[in-house]
Amino acid sequence: MTLETIILLVILGLLAGFLSGSIGIGGGVIMVPLAIWFLGYSQHQAQGMSLAVLAVPVTLLAAYTYHKNGHELDWRYVPFIAIAFIIGGYFGSKVAISLNQQLLKKVFGIILIIVAVKMIFFSSAKA
């Protein structure tokens, strides 16, 4: 591993961590594209790395910061969503590894576009 690669990895981690903590994005939206563009990863490798990095200890402190500052996270919901996320992640990874990289990239990009359009034009305002 070269010094340049280590620097890119640190930048990727800092950027993804900052964006995850500040606006709730990081893994799929930031790490996957940057790993493909700057590290030369395949779509499959980038998605796997993103999943590996965003393990519970990484995000727990950021979530606790929101809760501690009065943003009323309902911790009773967390175990249910987390268990379902684990199961969904397992089956989703089985589907992803069976797709060729070009199709997977297109699906990934389309989902990002759909989410972006929904967030920009159709998001509900819950205060």
Q: What does the pLDDT average to over 23-50?
A: 84
39 lies in which domain range? 3-121
Q: What does the pLDDT average to over 25-51?
A: 85
Residue 126 placed within a domain? no
Between residues 85 and 123, which one has the greater pLDDT? 85
pLDDT category at 63 given cuts 50, 70, 90 is confident
Residue 108 placed within a domain? yes
By residue count, the chain amounts to 127
Residue 45 placed within a domain? yes
CB 53 within 8 A of CB 13: yes
Burial of 111 (0-12, 13-18, 19+ CB in 10 A): exposed
Q: What does the pLDDT average to over 33-46?
A: 88
Between residues 2 and 126, which one has the greater pLDDT? 2
121: Cα separation from own chain's centroid: 22
Q: What is the pLDDT of residue 124?
A: 66
